[in-house]
Amino acid sequence: PPPPPPPKKNPTKKGLMPPSASNSNNHNAFTNPSYLETLLESARPFLRGELQKVDSKLPSLVAVLQSVGAGECWHKHGSFLDHLLDVYRILKLWGAPDSVCLCGLFHSAYSNSYVNLAIFDPSTGRDVVRSHVGDEAERLIHLFCIVPRQPLIHDQLIFRYELDELVEHLRASEEAVRRVKLEGASSREETWRKKINELVPEDGVVVKHIKTGEDVRVSRRIVAVFLLMTIADFSDQLFSFQDILFDNSNGLLEFAGNNFQALWPGDGKP
Q: What is the pLDDT of residues 200-225, one digit of tens each?
A: 999 999 999 988 899 999 999 999 99
Mean pLDDT of the chain: 84
Q: Which CATH number fits domain 50-155+200-237: 1.10.3470, 3.40.50, 1.10.3210, 1.10.490?
A: 1.10.3210
Instruction: Give the number of other Cβ atoms within 10 Å of residue 253's Cβ.
Output: 18
Most confident of 3-17, 42-56, 174-188: 42-56
Higher pLDDT, 72 or 169: 169
pTM: 0.81
pLDDT of residue 25 exceeding 60, the answer is no
| Torsion angle of the four alpha carbons 233, 235, 237, 240, in this order, in degrees rounded to the nearest 10 | 150
Instruction: Compute CA distances 168 → 114, 261, 268, whole Å.
Output: 30, 36, 29
Is 207:152 a contact under the CB 8 Å cutoff? yes
With cut-offs at 50, 70 and 90, classify the pLDDT of residue 63: very high
CATH 1.10.3210 residue ranges of the chain are 50-155+200-237
φ and ψ of 265, to 5 deg: -95, 10
Is 173:166 a contact under the CB 8 Å cutoff? no
Helix (H) or strand (E) run with residue 100 in it: helix 98-105
Instruction: Compute CA distances 54 → 15, 27, 69, 251, whole Å.
Output: 9, 28, 23, 33
